[in-house]
């Protein structure tokens, strides 16, 4: 009785070895096939220092706050808005020279322009439907490209006109400073609509038609948007 179980066990063991040996080539082929086509492997996370649509982006300081793919997606969405609705030609070319940098500090503002450094964005606060980066790039354009920079005499004159017309509440963000006036109104002009005053192109064209023409000259080569 002792020999039969032992012989049976040895036979089962041998059969198992033969089955594994027979399956090994198929398993190796399957592994090679999957490796060749990238199957069964996770894609590496995207780099947080990259170039997109002509902009240099440094989001490396976001750390572990967000997944890398989510960071890239939110920043790309903002740059897509600029490319889709922003100015053309030399104005867009200038904007593409402004670095986009992730800001890891706490705060409530999604973005801010810093001369000599670039546009800083708090990635978690970016809304893909709100052109925050476009507005910050307009601050940069006013500062660096228009005569007088933030003290541009035309912007000052048109802002004073807007205040005198009383078309908007005196507390409106667009009326607080000359740079704010240009950035908010130019964003509405380019994007078509924003969530704050002047809200849309039609309002801007109605309340300040000469300023609307001026924006067309500055941002669109002389042909205002309809």
Residue 214 lies in a domain: yes
Residue 30 lies in a domain: no
pLDDT-derived band at 190 (thresholds 50, 70, 90) equals: very high
Residue 85 lies in a domain: yes
Residue 17 lies in a domain: no
Task: Find out whether 144 and 90 touch, Cβ atoms under 8 Å.
Answer: no
Residue 86: both structure tokens together: 């922003």
Residue ending a domain, among 130, 163, 196, is 130
Residues 194 and 219 in one domain: yes
Mean pLDDT for the chain overall: 87
Peptide bond into 198 cis (omega under 30): yes
List pLDDT tens digits, range 73-111.
999 999 999 999 999 899 999 999 999 999 999 999 999
- pLDDT of the residue at 3: 47
Residue 38 lies in a domain: no
The sheet carrying 118-121 orders its strands as: 49-52, 55-58, 100-102, 118-121, 111-114
- pLDDT of the residue at 8: 43
CA distance 93 to 56: 13
Residues 166 and 116 in one domain: no
Residue 94: both structure tokens together: 């200038």
Residues 6 or more apart from 147 whose CB is under 8 A from it?
A: 153
Residues 90 and 164 in one domain: no
pLDDT over 70, % of the chain = 81
User: Comparing 91 with 30, which gets the higher pLDDT?
Assistant: 91
Task: Count the domains in the chain.
Answer: 2
Task: Find out whether 123 and 66 touch, Cβ atoms under 8 Å.
Answer: yes
Residue 37 lies in a domain: no
Domain that holds residue 193: 146-226
pLDDT over 90, % of the chain = 77
């Amino acid at each position: 009785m002792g020999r039969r179980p032992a012989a049976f066990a040895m036979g089962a063991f041998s059969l198992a070895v033969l089955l594994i040996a027979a399956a090994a080539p198929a398993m190796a082929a399957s592994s090679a096939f999957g490796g060749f086509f990238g199957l069964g492997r996770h894609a590496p996370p995207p780099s947080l220092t990259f170039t997109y649509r002509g902009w240099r982006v440094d989001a490396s300081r976001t750390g572990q706050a967000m997944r890398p793919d989510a960071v890239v997606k939110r920043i790309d969405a903002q740059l897509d808005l600029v490319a889709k609705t922003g100015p053309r030609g030399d104005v867009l070319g200038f904007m593409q020279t402004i670095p986009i940098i992730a800001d890891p500090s706490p705060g409530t503002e999604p973005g801010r322009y810093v001369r000599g450094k670039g546009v800083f964005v708090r990635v978690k606060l970016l809304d893909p439907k709100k052109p925050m980066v476009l507005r910050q790039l307009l601050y940069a354009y006013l500062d660096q490209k228009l005569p007088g920079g933030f003290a541009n005499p035309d912007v000052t004159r048109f802002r004073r006109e807007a205040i005198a017309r009383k078309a908007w509440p005196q507390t409106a963000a667009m009326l607080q400073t000359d740079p704010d006036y240009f950035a908010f109104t130019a964003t509405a002009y380019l994007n078509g609509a924003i969530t704050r005053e002047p809200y849309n192109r039609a309002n801007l064209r109605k309340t300040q038609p000469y300023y609307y023409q001026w924006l067309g000259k500055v941002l669109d080569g002389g042909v205002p948007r309809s």
